Amino acid sequence: MRFTDFTPNDVLLLLQGLGVSAALFAATTLIGLAIGLTWATLRYYRVPLLAPLFAAVAELLKNSPVLVQLFLVFFGLPVLLETDITPVQAAVITLSGNTAAFIYIIAVSAIESVGREQLETARVFGLSRWQTLRRVVAPQAAAFGLGPLTGLLVNQLQVTSLISVVGVLDLTRMGAILNLRTLKPFIVWTVVGLLYYLMAKLIAKTCARLETRLRAHTAWKGL
């Protein structure tokens, strides 16, 4: 193999990988958020069978390595279902499920942080369970849970680097390709790390601004 210096096309290569990583992160975060909040809502309503089932699934996903989950989905699921799964599909399924598990834990803790006296007051004023969840619990739980959620999102962004092992052309994969061609690992991985850092800072700042706005409305002002 002939090793070469960096070219302007290498910037496009890294930006392409960055776009794939960002798109997968955004998609799996939205899917995981929807699934995790649904599981937490089912727990809030104490739905028989479903609530404990999803709690068990979340516990399993939360406490097992993401890479093992990815291998099970990418290599095991096609055998089980007798179908083909692309690397991107495997990445979406794995990261969405893992994100949902942690969001479920955060949402449950945030919901339980709302004072019991507020729930009792809402019941006295005749609010239904859904109205209590929407008007009393959800706004405060969102503010309480946004801090842990920020840490989770930054971590999940870093976890996306694992999907390169199944062939997804994400930022880490593009960095590996560029490193093999140039044999300048210090420069390549410094740039890759810096790009991940900038994305993480953007996530943290966005969540911090949102948390500031939400906490301004957490004070109990009555019904």
Structural domains counted in the chain: 1
Task: Classify residue 2: in a domain, yes or no.
Answer: no
pLDDT of residue 213: 79
- What six digits make up the tokens of 145? 């849970």
Has residue 35 been placed in a domain?
yes
Please say whether the beta carbons of 214 and 149 come within 8 A: no
CATH number of the domain enclosing 18: 1.10.3720.10
Residue 220 lies in a domain: no
Q: What span, in angstroms and rounded, lies between the C-alpha atoms of 10 and 142?
A: 41
| 110 neighbors 141 (Cβ within 8 angstroms) | yes
- Is 221 inside any structural domain? no
Whole-number Å distance between alpha carbons of 29 and 108: 18
Lookup: tokens for 81? 């279902």
**Residues 105, 26: Cα–Cα separation, whole Å:** 20
Which of 31, 60, 40 is closest to 142 using CA atoms?
Answer: 40
Q: How far is CA 212 from CA 155, 204, 206, 209, in A?
A: 21, 12, 10, 5
Instruction: Identify whether 120 is part of a domain.
Output: yes
| Alpha-carbon distance values, 12 to 19, 27, 28 (Å) | 10, 22, 24
Dump pLDDT digits (tens) for 19-55: 999 999 999 999 999 999 999 988 888 888 888 898 8
Rounded to 5 degrees, φ, ψ at 95 are -70, -35
What pLDDT score was predicted for residue 16?
Answer: 94
195: nearest Cα among 32, 56, 13, 5: 13
pLDDT of residue 191: 95
pLDDT at 50: 86
Residue-wise pLDDT for 139-156, tens only, equals 778 878 888 999 999 999
pLDDT for res 26:
96
Q: Is residue 1 part of a domain?
A: no
Could you tell me if residue 222 is inside a domain?
Answer: no
Which H or E element spans position 56?
Answer: helix 50-62
User: pLDDT value at position 2?
Assistant: 59
Range of the domain at 90: 8-215
Distance, in Å, from the CA atom of 203 to the CA atom of 157, rounded to the nearest integer, reads: 9
Measured distance CA(203)–CA(186) in Å, rounded: 26
Query: What's the pTM value of the predicted model, to 2 decimals?
Result: 0.86
Which residues of the chain fall short of a pLDDT of 70?
1-3, 215-223
